[in-house]
Amino acid sequence: MSRKILIAGNWKMNGLKAEVSSLAKGVSAKYNNNSAYEMLICPPFTLVANAVDTVKGSGLKVGAQDCHFNTNGAHTADISPLMLKDAGAEYVILGHSERRADHGESDSLVNKKAKAVYEAGLKAIICIGESDEQNKAGKAVEVNQSQVAGSVPDNATAENTVIAYEPIWAIGTGRIPTSDDIQNIHAEIRKALASKLGQSVADGMRILYGGSMKPTNAEEILALADVDGGLIGGASLKVDDFMGIGACVK
């Protein structure tokens, strides 16, 4: 089954209105509805609607970095999937390791949020990944399989869900796993998806790699059989670096 490569930018807690004009506009002008791969930017909540307006017509998509699992109600400062849909977002990143660490998000909470995202007609990018300690203890496969089992809802499909494998020790550090290790863990994640959702869903579901991806290492990573794109932090904040990663899609 063919899986269209997704190059997704996670701006994290970066960006003011000025960055929508420079960065979002710059990326959308260069992306130019490239049909070889899908491209997405996920700015902070405050900029989602503005970014949607700015990139309109370019084919560049806009997403958010988290949401609540309810549609509305007494949840001060939270943002619902319906609000994101209303703002024009198409994707929501869920369970990023920084959310798991800073806000104690568990697999079951991520699972609940993903279901709410589907209900609103949005797509979830569900993040998983092992810590340095778990990696050194040889537990990477086990940890990621268990995160798939817990974080991915039973009604996930290849259309409504993307998985992002992000080894925590590779995020923002410049350290990346070897290509063999990336391919191996992506294949294991796909097996875990198959046992949860069935082989054909697993075969169609995109699994992104995230963690220190740059134009200089993207070509090798994106060429791996079970890598279907990237979730990019630091390098998504510069037009040339982000587009340079897109240019590595073959």
- 119 belongs to the catalytic site: no
Instruction: Tell me the closest approach of the beta carbon of residue 14 to ligand PGA, in angstroms.
Output: 10
Gap between the Cα atoms of 132 and 174, Å rounded: 14
Instruction: Answer yes or no whether residue 129 interacts with ligand PGA by CB under 6 A.
Output: no
Given 39, 125, 171, 245, the residue binding ligand PGA (CB under 6 A): 171
Residue nearer to ligand PGA on the CB measure, 51 or 197: 51
SS3 state at 171: coil
Distances (CA, A) of 137 to 9, 132, 148: 30, 9, 19
Residue nearer to ligand PGA on the CB measure, 89 or 197: 89
Exactly one of 19, 38, 68, 96 is catalytic; which is it? 96
Instruction: Answer yes or no whether residue 233 interacts with ligand PGA by CB under 6 A.
Output: yes
Residue nearer to ligand PGA on the CB measure, 58 or 212: 212
Residue nearer to ligand PGA on the CB measure, 172 or 198: 172
CB 132 within 8 A of CB 168: yes
Q: Looking at beta carbons, which residue is closest to ligand PGA?
A: 233
Distances (CA, A) of 243 to 34, 77, 107, 189: 11, 33, 32, 27
φ and ψ of 39, to 5 deg: -130, 140
**Interaction residues for ligand PGA, span 2-61 (CB under 6 A):** 10
Residue nearer to ligand PGA on the CB measure, 118 or 169: 169
Gap between the Cα atoms of 37 and 6, Å rounded: 6
Instruction: Tell me the closest approach of the beta carbon of residue 168 to ligand PGA, in angstroms.
Output: 9
DSSP states along 75-120: -TT---HHHHHHHT--EEEE--HHHHHHH---HHHHHHHHHHHHHT
Instruction: Tell me the closest approach of the beta carbon of residue 73 to ligand PGA, in angstroms.
Output: 29
SS3 state at 22: helix
- 96 belongs to the catalytic site: yes
Exactly one of 38, 130, 166, 188 is catalytic; which is it? 166
Residues designated catalytic: 96, 166
Q: Could you list the residues that contact ligand PGA (CB under 6 A)?
A: 10, 166, 171-172, 210-213, 231-235
